């Protein structure tokens, strides 16, 4: 027990030391566009809304208004985390980093009224004019949210119960809050939020007829291939490792791209997905990338080293890197298996460059032989 605690303490001190000597590490997102990295559970303009702690790793100002990347941590709740609503100008996306939550989407013009039980690695999207809501089920749940365009964090600041800073970087305060404590938890509150592009849909009742994690019961989830629509504007879900996969071995390493949002479904405003990367061989040259638009990486598993502006940092699980467009960068895995979540502004992100030299693939793991 003491050894484990000592190792944890040393790891934390190492991260703090790196942050103290690095111009890339920040504790809160910059107010202008620049390269930066920010640690998991950093201050990140953290705010409490009921039982939920929101941290903003990429904001409107730090992304030039293109997207917001946030983390939501909370204990389980017997009530909805937010009352049902739509956005008329914002796409909202949900990724389960850990724990469990239920997510509902409804859009009558495309015949969608669905729900999913979300577990680690699952993804769901609510395009513009989609009614949506969620409920957190497990006592240590974390959602990663991507909202396009950026600046949506202003809503959370407006309804906040107060900014929070935890010296030990705990994900959320271990205490019990009212089940009704959530973002827009009262009908009077949520109907006053239209200035933030939140329009209450109080007549919507989330369906509870889940079978094997899905509603309707016949929906494909963790039991078969999940497809991504070929048109925009339709809500959809992608179960962990059940979506499309493409493998690239062009740079002496394996990289598996799993798109969640394509240029089409993101309406050419953004793309999103995950990339799994194998260890960097000593004899392989790390490629240098320079993308047109801004990109963010958040580590899901393993450790990723990243060079920007002649400075190299190593990111662990949950850490976020923001890479402005027209910035040269390199990345490589520090272990045998690293996976990270990507968000790219526009329609020509890192995944497009990789998929240009990739083939279809059926597995979340790479081959047993070297690339």
Q: Give the pLDDT confidence of 50-69 residue by residue, as tens digits.
A: 999 999 999 999 999 999 99
Chain centre to alpha carbon of residue 55: 12
Q: Does domain 246-360 have CATH number 2.60.120.10?
A: yes
Say yes or no to pLDDT of 262 above 70. Answer: yes
Scan for tokens 């190593």, then name that residue: 314
Q: Which residues are catalytic?
A: 85, 87, 92, 132
pLDDT of residue 186: 65
Average pLDDT value for the chain: 93
Say yes or no to pLDDT of 207 above 90. Answer: yes
Q: What is the pLDDT of residues 295-304, one digit of tens each?
A: 999 999 999 9
Predicted confidence band of residue 181 (pLDDT cuts 50, 70, 90)? very low
Global model pTM greater than 0.95: no
Least-confidence region, from 145-149, 185-189, 323-327, 363-367: 185-189
Whole-angstrom CA distances from 152 to 68, 295, 297 are 7, 18, 19
Asked if domains 30-222+233-238 and 246-360 share a fold, the reply is: yes
Residues with Cβ within 8 Å of 125's Cβ and at least 6 positions away in sequence, in order, are: 91, 92, 93, 94, 105, 235, 236, 237, 260, 261, 265
363 and 246 in contact (C-beta within 8 Å)?
A: no
Predicted confidence band of residue 190 (pLDDT cuts 50, 70, 90)? confident
Alpha-carbon distance of 87 to 90, in angstroms, equals 5
Quick one: average pLDDT of 254-273?
Answer: 99
3-state SS of 290-343?
A: ECCCCEEEEEEECCEEEEECCEEEEECCCCEEEECCCCEEEEEECCCEEEEEEE
Third-level CATH fold of 30-222+233-238: Jelly Rolls (2.60.120)
Quick one: average pLDDT of 108-122?
Answer: 96
pLDDT of residue 162: 93
> Domain spans of the chain?
30-222+233-238, 246-360
pLDDT of residue 140: 96
Q: What is the pLDDT of residues 90-112, one digit of tens each?
A: 999 999 999 999 999 999 999 99
Alpha-carbon distance of 367 to 369, in angstroms, equals 5
Beta strands 25-26 and 36-38 are: parallel
What phi and psi, each to the nearest 5 degrees, are found at residue 34? -160, 160
Predicted confidence band of residue 74 (pLDDT cuts 50, 70, 90)? very high
Q: What percentage of the chain carries pLDDT values higher than 70?
A: 92
Predicted confidence band of residue 185 (pLDDT cuts 50, 70, 90)? low
Say yes or no to pLDDT of 136 above 50. Answer: yes
What's the sign of the alpha-carbon dihedral 249, 253, 258, 261?
negative
């Amino acid at each position: 027990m003491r050894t484990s605690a000592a190792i944890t303490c040393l790891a934390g001190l190492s991260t703090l030391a790196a942050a103290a000597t690095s111009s890339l590490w920040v504790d809160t997102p910059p107010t202008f566009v620049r390269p930066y990295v920010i640690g998991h559970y950093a201050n990140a303009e953290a705010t409490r809304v009921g039982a939920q702690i929101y941290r903003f790793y990429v904001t409107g100002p730090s992304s030039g208004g293109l997207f917001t990347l946030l983390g939501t941590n909370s204990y389980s709740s017997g009530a909805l985390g937010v009352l049902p609503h739509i956005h008329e100008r914002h796409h909202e996306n949900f990724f389960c980093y850990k724990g469990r939550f239920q997510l509902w989407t409804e859009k009558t013009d495309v015949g969608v009224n669905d729900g999913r039980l979300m577990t680690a690695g699952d993804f769901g999207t609510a395009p513009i004019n989609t009614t949506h809501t969620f409920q957190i089920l497990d006592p240590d749940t974390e959602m990663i949210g991507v909202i396009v365009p950026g600046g949506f964090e202003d809503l959370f600041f407006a309804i906040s119960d107060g900014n929070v800073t935890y010296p030990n970087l705990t994900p959320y305060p271990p205490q019990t809050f009212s089940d009704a404590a959530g973002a827009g938890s009262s009908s009077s509150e949520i109907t006053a939020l239209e200035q933030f592009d939140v329009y209450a849909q109080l007549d919507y009742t989330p369906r509870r007829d889940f079978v094997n994690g899905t509603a309707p019961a016949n929906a494909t989830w963790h039991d078969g291939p999940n497809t991504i629509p070929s048109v925009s504007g339709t809500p959809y879900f992608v179960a962990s490792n059940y979506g499309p996969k493409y493998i690239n071995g062009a740079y002496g390493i394996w990289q598996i791209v799993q798109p969640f949002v394509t240029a089409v479904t993101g309406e050419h405003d953004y793309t999103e997905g995950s990339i799994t990367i194998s260890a960097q061989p000593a004899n392989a040259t790390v490629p240098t990338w320079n993308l047109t638009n801004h990109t963010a990486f958040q580590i899901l598993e393993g450790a990723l080293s990243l060079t920007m502006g002649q400075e190299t940092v190593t990111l662990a699980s949950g850490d976020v890197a923001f890479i402005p467009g027209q910035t040269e960068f390199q990345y490589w895995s520090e272990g045998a298996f690293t996976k990270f979540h990507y968000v790219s502004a526009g329609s020509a992100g890192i995944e497009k460059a990789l998929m240009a030299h990739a083939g279809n693939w059926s597995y979340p793991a790479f081959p047993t032989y070297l690339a």
